[in-house]
Structure 1
Amino acid sequence: MAGSASISGLSSGLDTASIIEQFMQLEAAPQTRLKSRLTSEKSVLTTLQSLNTKVAALATSAAALLKPAAWNAVTATSSEAKVAVSAATTAGPGSFSLRVDQTALSHRLEMATAVGASTAGTVPTTVRLDRLDGTPAVDLATDGTLNGLVKAINDPANATGLRATAVKVGTDQYRLVVEAATTGAAGDFTLTDAVGSTDLLGGATVRSGRDAQVTVGDSVVATSSSNTFADLVPGVTVTLADGTAGGTTSQVVLARDPAATTSAVKALVDAVNSALADIDSASRTGSGTRGPLAGDTGVRSVRDQLLNSVFPGDGTTLADLGIQTDRSGRLVLDEKALRKAYDTDPAALQARLTTPGTGFVDRVRAAAVTASDRVTGTLTTAITGRTATIDRLDDNVEAWDLRLELRRTALTRQFTALETALNQMSSQSSWLAGQLSSLSTGS
């Protein structure tokens, strides 16, 4: 380029640089068409990938709704605010009475003697911790001060499982309170001097750790090291508020939760409609802007399969369950009709929606899997094909870059040669004119 610019029009008066650029624009027309197609293919690929992600998520959601646990949702309520209950999907309907016998407490020592926080020699330089659970005692190194002992007990590196606090009771006078980090009878411990025989700081007032205990019904006793009773009955967790008085009673009721089931089905219907809307937008035809997937029969087949999932295939419909299609090709859900079917016979509703081959949820799952399977899915196959096409177009564009560069070099050489030749001819013409002029003068 620098060479052509330096000799452009030197002898011919032509703007050879502009002429070369015009030639190159003509030469690059095929590459421009390739780049345009490449941009279009990438747009299609992005749309297919987005749609495939949404349909794959739909398959996952439908598969989750096919599991029995998804239809066993129950709500758990307690007649006593201090007795909290929660139910997992494994819980079933029922009820039981519960009496709180005692809440869980942590083991705690309140040392009798008050000392200065930083006064040396007030505590042994080695304090022995015995957890009383059969594990070996641990010797904690201190600097001989109360602050040093507190630091040693609370140091995560020592893994004592205790919390120590120096409580101010007078001018530079502190009493040590040490408490197990967790509740339960198994958290008992003692603190003594290094040989394990001398009481520390004048001995301690002891609050023994204890397990929480409740009685279910009249005689079934359950204990827990904390105030939480996990799976007290299958799928049900009971948590007691700290300080709940012994003798507190509660009636726990586990009832089916139709709202959860209705919400789950509605979420699936909404997900199907969202996928249908994306397909319609991407495959839009007619007047206006065409969608990137317009005319793609594979994508239209995915739409048909998703929409047809509402038809069991045995000549019946799901209209009595509140699930049907509208004129715009979308699914509609009458939540009141679905709730009525649930209240009438929840097991029958579950069967009609989840039965393999005919159930709405199973048909949605099958249609979504057919479209998004990682190997054989309709959308996956289309993505693979488009990706291969884009790779090929990228290679072609790169090949054209080299071809055009060679063509530009050739044109530059040709015009440079032209200017050089014209310059030489101009020089020769001037010399001949001078020679002829001298001949005339001499004669």
Structure 2
Amino acid sequence: MASGASVSGLGSGLDTASIIDQFMQLEAASQTRLKSRQTTEKAVLTALQSLNTKLSSLATKASDLGKPAAWNTVTATSSEAKVALTATSAAGPGAFAVRVDQTAATHRLELASTVGMSTAGTVPTSVRLDRLDGSTPLDLTTDGTLKGLVTAINDPANATGLRATAVKVGTDAYRLVVESSASGAEQDFTLAGTDGSDLLGGATVRAGRDAKVTVGDTVVATSTSNTFNDLVPGVTLTLAADTPVGTTSQVSLTRDATTATSTLKGLVDAINSVIADIDTQTKVSGTGTRGALAGDGTVLSVRDRLLGSVFPGNGTSLADLGVQTDRYGKLVLDEAKFTKAYAADPTAVQNRLTAAGSGFVTKVADAAKRASDRVDGTLTSSITGRTTSIKRLDDDISAWDLRLELRRTALTRQFSAMETALNQMNSQSSWLSGQISSLPSGS
């Protein structure tokens, strides 16, 4: 703190400002200890918060992997490039043949007459659209030109469900093509005058159609588009629009052991990252240097529970699946061993990983959640306690600031009064000396 106003050394010749500063250093010793303790508490709090964030992330990851769908990884392959497949976790292993009987198509009209784009009177001022589905026909208002009819059909406000295109075939000569926005056999429609007369010389029609495939020898499936959702559970098949009729694809659905291994490795790596963080923060070196969380029993118990997750609790381990601890207290995964075990019996492996109460993934999720739960997690409680302690130290340090300020003011006043008194005494002494020296000397 800055020193208050004083008359340092005015009468005594002493550096009273420095003397006051030294007194204040002694007075502030208690506050200095509080600040040192606060610094330590903040370091602990930062370490706890960082660790808690990692554990929360680990809990989420493990919880997601505890769901059976996370391990039902199936790879779908097709022998034909124009027959594409995707598989979800609902798919199971299998194999079958798919023959393409027809692809889906939109319903399309190609009008016969060639007319100018803006020539008046080439189309009726009112054109009737009938969707042939029992709904009320829609009458479209035009300005009597081809351009006006195209605009009316494509206007979103009319909600025709059609696309109209004027195709240029010569100098200011156009033919109208209209097709449904969606494919499928039920997308058929007609365009005519409101009196039923042909529009623009009548139309060549390409009827809309559904896509159709045969699965195996006799099972026929249809779709209004070229995509067959859940053709079999969890499998979507999509045909290229130009797939030739009769194309036959051999479909294979196989368990993906590689993805399952990668998934488990990601969890093991996440656990080891948390353990490494704990080891760093709780380390005590030979020179006496201590991590911020050294000796914290709560943190060390979290480490023990994470490592203990590889033991189901029935006297067995996961060593035969390639999951175990090494001599350094970290988890290791023998990827080749796990891949082999998963390929041999994926269901059994999945059960050992996700079984309630005893599964490796389940136990990891429980250990991480017990520590990081935002309401009653063990680390969460420690963080709350440290935060409260730091707030209390803040208040104590602030109280000491006021106390020291008052003490400095008092010392400054005392030394200033002393200097003033000494200065007055020195002045009187000088005056008396002058008076004495001015007296006549005796003969």
| TM class, shorter-length | 0.7 to 0.9
Residue 42 of structure 2 aligns to a residue in which SS? helix
Whole-angstrom distance in 2 between the partners of 1:118 and 1:415: 104
What aligned pairs does 1:224-373 form with structure 2 within 5 A after superposition? Answer: 224-287=223-286, 289-373=289-373
* Higher deviation after alignment, 252-261 or 24-33: 24-33
Mark the CA change 1:10 to 1:2 in structure 2 (over 3 Å): closer, same or farther: farther
Mark the CA change 1:389 to 1:3 in structure 2 (over 3 Å): closer, same or farther: closer
Whole-angstrom distance in 1 between the partners of 2:175 and 2:103: 27
1:182 is matched with 182
1:374 aligns to 2:379 (yes or no): no
Whole-angstrom distance in 2 between the partners of 1:430 and 1:151: 114
Whole-angstrom distance in 2 between the partners of 1:227 and 1:207: 17
Deviation at 1:271, TM superposition (A): 1.8
1:218 is matched with 217
Whether the aligned pair in 2 keeps the contact of 1:8 and 1:15 (CA below 8 Å) is: no
The amino acid of 1:305's aligned partner reads R
Residue 380 of structure 1 aligns to a residue in which SS? helix
| TM-score, normalised by the number of residues in structure 2 | 0.84
1:34 is matched with 34
Deviation at 1:279, TM superposition (A): 1.1
Q: How many residues align?
A: 438
Whole-angstrom distance in 2 between the partners of 1:307 and 1:440: 101
Q: Structure 1: which 5+ residue stretches go unaligned?
A: none
Q: Structure 2: which 5+ residue stretches go unaligned?
A: none
Whole-angstrom distance in 2 between the partners of 1:203 and 1:285: 92
Residue 177 of structure 1 aligns to a residue in which SS? strand
Q: Percent identity?
A: 68
Whole-angstrom distance in 2 between the partners of 1:171 and 1:430: 125
* Higher deviation after alignment, 113-122 or 245-254: 113-122
Whether the aligned pair in 1 keeps the contact of 2:9 and 2:16 (CA below 8 Å) is: no
Whole-angstrom distance in 2 between the partners of 1:147 and 1:419: 105
Mark the CA change 1:44 to 1:170 in structure 2 (over 3 Å): closer, same or farther: farther
Deviation at 1:103, TM superposition (A): 0.8
Whole-angstrom distance in 2 between the partners of 1:168 and 1:341: 65
Whether the aligned pair in 2 keeps the contact of 1:8 and 1:14 (CA below 8 Å) is: no
Mark the CA change 1:119 to 1:304 in structure 2 (over 3 Å): closer, same or farther: same
1:164 aligns to 2:151 (yes or no): no
Mark the CA change 1:122 to 1:330 in structure 2 (over 3 Å): closer, same or farther: same
Residue 281 of structure 1 aligns to a residue in which SS? helix
Deviation at 1:215, TM superposition (A): 1.5
Whole-angstrom distance in 2 between the partners of 1:28 and 1:179: 88
1:56 aligns to 2:56 (yes or no): yes
| TM-score, normalised by the number of residues in structure 1 | 0.84
**CA shift digits 1:312-334 (9 cap, x unpaired):** 33333322221221111111111
* Higher deviation after alignment, 23-32 or 213-222: 23-32
Whether the aligned pair in 2 keeps the contact of 1:47 and 1:282 (CA below 8 Å) is: yes
Deviation at 1:262, TM superposition (A): 1.9
* Higher deviation after alignment, 50-59 or 144-153: 144-153
Mark the CA change 1:314 to 1:163 in structure 2 (over 3 Å): closer, same or farther: same
Deviation at 1:144, TM superposition (A): 5.5
Deviation at 1:171, TM superposition (A): 2.8
